[in-house]
Amino acid sequence: YSGKKPIQSVADGMVDMTAADFQSRPVVITENLSVYDAICQLFLEDVGTLFVVDQQSLLTGVLSRKDLLRTSIGRTELDKIPVHVIMTRMPNIMYCRKQDTLISVAKKMMDSQIDSLPIINEKEGGLEVIGRITKTNITAAFLSLAEDHDL
């Protein structure tokens, strides 16, 4: 006996997986940080996406690798451009809650062609960022299904 669950229960395992089960730590920056410093954060924290918040720590924007690359091409004064000028901003941000199923998260990412979603907690006046879920987390979940079951 392998100790693994029968292959028939893969479907049950799949619908039970939530964003909270596979999330990563969010990396958050403030709106007035420069594009230069945002690029440094991306390398230091080893992430592909940064979430931008205001003074109240509420979500205002998202910055991806390509947002930063696009701005950097042919420009030198990256330390003079604040990230709020180039970020994707609210209300155009896709997000999820920690109890959302991983399947609904994957669908949002594929439909919007994005690599990650902030996990948020609804607060008075806005959204507080409490986690991050990426395509890497989805891949980890996929692998965990295979490892937990007798495939």
Residue among 50, 93, 105, 106 that touches ligand ADP (CB under 6 A): 93
Binding mask 35-64 for ligand ADP (x = CB under 6 A): --------------x------------x-x
Minimum distance from residue 37 beta carbon to ligand ADP (Å): 17
3-class DSSP string for the chain = CCCCECHHHHHHHHHHCEHHHHCECCCEEECCCEHHHHHHHHHHHCCCEEEEECCCCEEEEEEEHHHHHHHHCCCCCHHHCEHHHCCEECCCCCCECCCCEHHHHHHHHHHHCCCEEEEEEEECCEEEEEEEEEHHHHHHHHHHHHHHECC
Give the total of residues touching ligand ADP (CB under 6 A). Answer: 14
Within 108-147, which residues bind ligand ADP (CB under 6 A)?
114-117
By the criterion CB under 6 A, which residues form the site for ligand ADP? 49, 62, 64-67, 88, 92-94, 114-117
